[in-house]
């Protein structure tokens, strides 16, 4: 005789809903969006179906639409032409640059939106690296850590001045959280938050994002600053440093191949854990769905749910708008 029959808790939708442990809400999402200079532009990113680079005028319309769907947080990335890039990412802290102006306009029109920015040199760097490239001998990519901090500090301060609510350092330089925290505090931006890309791997899943920004490294790779996908213990070191340096959120990136890392972070730290469901994860599901190989909506929901179940409270995802549309129906 069977005493325990786990299937009883799965016998109807009502009971399945009662015992469901993890749920997703629009509240959990940050929607990454792309802006470029100009007006009247909406250009689709080839490797990310349904995701666009918008000029600011159209972007504002799009933000209105996603805000009406219940999305309250966005993360904005700029797409700069090659002509605006240099070795020192100078454009990143030019007060007249379109990215900073876009931040101010968004904040002015949508004060209730939590506006997150990206701090790293790659969108503005002629080398396509997140840090300043030195003259390393023996052909290794030589990224100058402490010299980069100075540039990141200027970038973060410019973004905070433009109205950013959450600064997102994605560069993986050592010490950047404390460095940026101090600059923000010294300048009176004690209320501006920092979401650290604490645990960011050197991943192939960023490919479509680099298409979106034309930001792929011109030489070498990012393995001297982004983490080795084989490692999880380093995640704890990065997390401890970020906590000590004043981070408000700890992020793991990518998400889907790193659910164990998300869980490790959630088990070890009390700050809210975020996970970045990156461009390649989005592209995989979209491509398979377009081929009729997967049910795109169901695969999306399962992927997002698994990230939440692993321990992420916050999910940065290109699926945020589609998820919100599904929830609204």
In the complex, minimum distance from the CB of residue 320 to ligand PBG, in angstroms, rounded to a whole number:
12
CB 218 within 8 A of CB 166: no
**Angle, in degrees to the nearest 10, between helices 296-310 and 320-327:** 100
Is residue 88 a contact partner of residue 144, using CB atoms and an 8 Å limit? no
Given 200, 286, 308, 321, which residue is catalytic?
Answer: 200
Beta carbon nearer to ligand PBG, 78 or 163:
78
Residue 133 three-state SS: strand
Is 40 or 141 the residue whose CB approaches ligand PBG more closely? 141
Nearest to 239 by CA among 200, 183, 182: 200
Nearer Cβ to ligand PBG (131/311): 131
In the bound complex, what is the minimum distance in angstroms from residue 171's beta carbon to ligand PBG? 6
Q: Which residues bind ligand PBG (CB under 6 A)?
A: 118, 120, 122, 130, 170-171, 206, 209-210, 278-279
For the question of residue 253 being annotated catalytic, the response is yes
Q: Is 101 assigned a catalytic role?
A: no
Pairing of strands 73-79, 48-55: unpaired
CB of 3 to ligand PBG, least distance (A): 48
- At closest approach, how far in Å is the CB of 21 from ligand PBG? 28
Spatial separation of the C-alpha atoms in residues 123 and 99, rounded to whole Å = 11
How many Cβ atoms from other residues are within 10 Å of residue 305's Cβ? Answer: 15
Looking at the Cβ atoms of 174 and 187, the one nearer to ligand PBG is 174
70/60 Cα distance (integer angstroms): 15
Please pick, among 253, 286, 308, 321, the residue that the annotation labels catalytic.
253
Write out the catalytic residue numbers: 200, 253
């Amino acid at each position: 005789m069977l005493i325990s029959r786990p299937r009883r808790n799965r016998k109807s939708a009502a009971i399945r809903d009662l015992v469901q442990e993890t749920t997703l809400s629009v509240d959990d999402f940050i929607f990454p969006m792309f802006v470029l200079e100009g007006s009247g532009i909406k250009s689709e990113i080839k490797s990310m179906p349904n995701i666009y680079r918008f000029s600011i005028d159209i972007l504002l319309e799009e933000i209105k639409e996603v805000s009406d769907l219940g999305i309250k947080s966005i993360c904005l990335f700029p797409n700069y032409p090659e002509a605006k890039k240099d070795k020192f990412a100078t454009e990143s802290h030019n007060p007249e640059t379109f990215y900073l102006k876009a931040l101010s306009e968004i904040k002015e029109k949508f004060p209730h939106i939590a506006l997150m920015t990206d701090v790293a040199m790659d969108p503005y760097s002629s080398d396509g690296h997140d840090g300043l490239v030195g003259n390393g001998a023996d052909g290794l990519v030589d990224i100058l850590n402490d010299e980069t901090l100075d540039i990141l500090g200027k970038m973060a301060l410019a973004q905070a001045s433009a109205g950013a609510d959450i600064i997102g350092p994605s560069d993986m330089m050592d010490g950047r959280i404390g460095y940026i925290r101090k600059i923000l505090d010294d300048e009176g931006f004690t209320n501006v938050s920092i979401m650290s890309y604490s645990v960011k791997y050197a991943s192939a899943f960023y490919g479509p994002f680099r298409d979106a920004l034309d930001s792929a490294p011109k030489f070498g790779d990012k393995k001297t600053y982004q983490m080795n996908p084989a490692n999880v213990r380093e995640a704890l070191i990065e997390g401890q440093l970020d906590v000590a340096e004043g981070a408000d959120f700890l992020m793991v990136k990518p998400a889907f191949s790193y659910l164990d890392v998300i869980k490790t972070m959630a088990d070890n730290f009390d700050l809210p854990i975020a996970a970045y469901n990156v461009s390649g994860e989005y592209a995989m599901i979209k491509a398979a769905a377009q081929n009729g190989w997967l049910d795109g909506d169901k695969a999306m929901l399962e992927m997002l749910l698994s990230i939440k179940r692993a321990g992420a409270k916050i999910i940065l995802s290109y699926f945020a708008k589609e998820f919100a549309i599904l929830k609204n129906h």
